[in-house]
């Protein structure tokens, strides 16, 4: 039984989507004005891993994640860089796709943008005004926070405890325009020279929170299964999304709320963030570290827990990933001398391991326990690859299951390594020729050359085999 921790109820709950077999999932996406750092990528990787697991469990996932392409920070960046808002956002949306696809994050079903949804945003705000949940003030429109009775139900805050200016995204200068300091902006009047749109309240642009209410309900329906995002979005962003959406539709907005933990860095485990300046961009890191290693590093920590970013931890991920790859190569290699048929016992044992995997992953996507089972699978692959007689069907069975499970972590065993495998094969053939011709100098040279690459040769009755010495 799949259970997940619902931030709305603060407990693990059985996961049952509204429509059997189908999951609607909305993940708050990035504000596109710079390269994403490892902390931003965490959310993309964590929820991609969850999506992959849901798909592995047989669900069809409709995954929507927005791009915030209208925002104060973007406008500021456009003024500084002397580029239009459109030019900046195009550039960083493309960079986002490049970085996340390098990390093997599957493309969302849809990535809606604010600029493409302006009419719906305005209509949504109009309904809130009509229903008395919002009011216009000097060209701005504000949401009447106290009118929404359930305000605070996600973050567990009492409205009376919320202090003025709780939202860091609200400028102090706006306070005079509000009827209550707790109210937040749905629409902001345009300042001179800023990008703006026509609206019933004059030229302006939307506040930040409204876009997610609009896009989630527009593309996935009034009530969705999973709404997800970083821990820092729980308040006020997600609280405001609930207030806006439920006031408009009168229905529950999202049934399960998932929040991912931070990435920390340094000895004091500081949160990695743009404002603290302690960030590493994915764009830069990809120049130095194999993308699969970064992905593996990030996807093997359960989504709610913090990830400690350090070169030692990245290196550990590299070593572990190599072990998984080696096990795959060792057994794949045996397909060549395998015989027809299967080994029932080996397959049953492996199928039991897969059941163990599902059991631990069903517990709120506990990837730490999940990957431990995968290491055990790798061990079994190695054990079987050492057997004198191996069966083709069993090799295929084990490898298919193994690949399927490893793919949940965003890892596909690369073509590159297989090419390398071909090169190794060629060298082994050359060595065999050399040995046949009693050219032992050359055959030793090749053995040493391969040894330098971490390849160990074994001369067996079935021929020469190789494996990686990791
Ligand atoms: Zn959002």
Q: What is the pLDDT of residues 282-299, one digit of tens each?
A: 999 999 999 999 999 999
Could you tell me the end-to-end alpha-carbon distance of the chain, in angstroms, rounded to an integer?
Answer: 37
pLDDT above 50: residue 169: no
Confidence of residue 448 (pLDDT cuts 50, 70, 90): confident
CA of 24 to the centre of ligand 1 (A): 15
* Same domain flag for 36 and 108: yes
* Same domain flag for 402 and 461: no
- At residue 421, φ and ψ (nearest 5 deg) are -60, -40
Percentage of the chain beyond pLDDT 70 is 95
CA-only gyration radius of the chain, Å = 27
CA of 20 to the centre of ligand 1 (A): 25
* Same domain flag for 437 and 459: yes
Nearest residue to 444 (alpha-carbon basis) of 434, 456, 454: 434
Confidence of residue 269 (pLDDT cuts 50, 70, 90): confident
pLDDT above 60: residue 167: no
CA of 87 to the centre of ligand 1 (A): 23
Residue found under tokens 């730490």: 368
Q: Would you tell me how many other CB atoms lie within 10 Å of the CB of residue 104?
A: 20
Segment 438-449 shows an average pLDDT of 88
Segment 193-213 shows an average pLDDT of 96
Which residues form the domain of 432?
Answer: 417-468
pLDDT above 70: residue 226: yes
The answer to whether 243 and 213 have CB atoms below 8 angstroms apart is no
* Same domain flag for 124 and 247: yes
* Same domain flag for 226 and 374: no
* Same domain flag for 115 and 23: yes
* Same domain flag for 129 and 251: yes
Spatial distance between the Cα atoms of 105 and 413, rounded to a whole number of angstroms: 15
Segment 290-317 shows an average pLDDT of 96
> How many CA atoms lie within 13 Å of 448's alpha carbon, on the beta-carbon side?
6
CA of 237 to the centre of ligand 1 (A): 6
Lowest mean pLDDT among 24-28, 188-192, 407-411: 188-192
* Same domain flag for 118 and 245: yes
CA of 417 to the centre of ligand 1 (A): 40
Q: What is the tens place of the pLDDT at every residue in 328-379?
A: 999 999 999 999 999 999 999 999 999 999 999 999 999 999 999 999 999 9
pLDDT computed for residue 428 by the predictor: 87
How high is the mean pLDDT of the chain? 92
* Same domain flag for 376 and 273: no
At which of 380, 409, 438 does a domain end? 409
| 237 among annotated binding-site residues | yes
pTM metric for this prediction: 0.88
* Same domain flag for 395 and 430: no
Residue found under tokens 């040995």: 435
Q: Which two tokens stand for residue 449?
A: 């050359």
Residue 301 belongs to a domain: no
3-class secondary structure, 5: strand
* Same domain flag for 435 and 400: no
pLDDT computed for residue 175 by the predictor: 82
Domain count, the chain: 3
* Same domain flag for 400 and 330: yes
pLDDT computed for residue 414 by the predictor: 60
Helix axes 291-299, 311-333, angle to 10 degrees: 100
Lowest mean pLDDT among 14-23, 213-222, 406-415, 420-429: 420-429
Confidence of residue 421 (pLDDT cuts 50, 70, 90): low
CATH classification of the domain holding 404: 1.20.120.640
Residue 181 belongs to a domain: no
């Amino acid at each position: 039984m799949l259970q997940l921790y619902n931030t709305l109820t603060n407990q693990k709950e059985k996961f049952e989507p509204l429509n059997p077999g189908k999951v609607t999932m909305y993940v708050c996406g990035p504000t596109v004005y710079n390269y994403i750092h490892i902390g931003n990528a965490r959310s993309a990787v964590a929820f991609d891993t969850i999506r992959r697991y849901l798909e592995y469990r047989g669900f069809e996932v409709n995954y929507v994640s927005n791009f915030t392409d209208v925002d104060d920070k973007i406008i500021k960046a456009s003024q500084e860089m002397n580029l239009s808002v459109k030019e900046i956002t195009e550039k960083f949306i493309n960079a986002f796709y490049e970085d996340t696809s390098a990390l093997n994050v599957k493309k969302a079903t849809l990535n809606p943008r604010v600029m493409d949804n302006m009419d719906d945003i305005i209509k949504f705000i109009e309904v809130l005004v009509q229903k008395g949940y919002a009011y216009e003030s000097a060209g701005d429109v504000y949401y009447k926070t106290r009118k929404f009775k359930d305000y605070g139900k996600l973050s567990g805050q009492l409205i009376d405890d919320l202090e003025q200016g709780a939202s860091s995204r609200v400028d102090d200068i706006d306070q005079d325009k509000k009827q209550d300091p707790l109210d937040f902006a749905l629409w902001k009047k345009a300042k001179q020279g800023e990008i703006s749109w026509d609206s019933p309240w004059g030229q302006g642009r939307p506040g930040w929170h409204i876009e997610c209410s609009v896009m989630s309900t527009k593309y996935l329906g009034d009530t969705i299964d999973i709404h997800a995002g970083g821990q820092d979005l729980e308040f006020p962003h997600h609280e405001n999304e609930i207030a806006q959406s439920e006031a408009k539709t009168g229905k529950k907005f999202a049934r399960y709320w998932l929040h991912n933990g931070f990435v920390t860095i340094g000895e004091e485990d500081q949160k990695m963030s743009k404002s603290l300046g302690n960030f590493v961009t994915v764009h830069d890191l990809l120049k130095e570290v194999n993308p699969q290693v970064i992905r593996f590093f990030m996807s093997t920590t359960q989504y709610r827990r913090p990830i400690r970013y350090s070169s030692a931890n990245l290196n550990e991920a590299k070593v572990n990933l190599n072990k998984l790859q080696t096990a795959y190569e060792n057994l794949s290699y045996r397909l060549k001398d395998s015989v027809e048929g299967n080994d029932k016992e080996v397959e049953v044992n492996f199928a039991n391991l897969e059941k163990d995997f599902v059991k631990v992953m069903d517990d709120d996507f506990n990837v730490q326990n999940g990957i431990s089972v995968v290491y055990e699978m790798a061990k079994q692959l190695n054990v079987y690859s050492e057997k004198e007689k191996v069966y083709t069907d069993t090799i295929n069975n084990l490898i298919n299951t193994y690949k399927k499970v490893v793919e949940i972590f965003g890892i596909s065993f690369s073509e590159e390594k297989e090419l390398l495998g071909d090169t190794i094969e060629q060298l082994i053939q050359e060595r065999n020729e050399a040995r046949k011709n009693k050219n032992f100098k050359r055959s030793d040279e090749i053995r040493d050359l391969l040894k330098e690459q971490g390849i160990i040769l074994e001369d067996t009755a079935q021929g020469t085999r190789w494996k990686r010495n990791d």
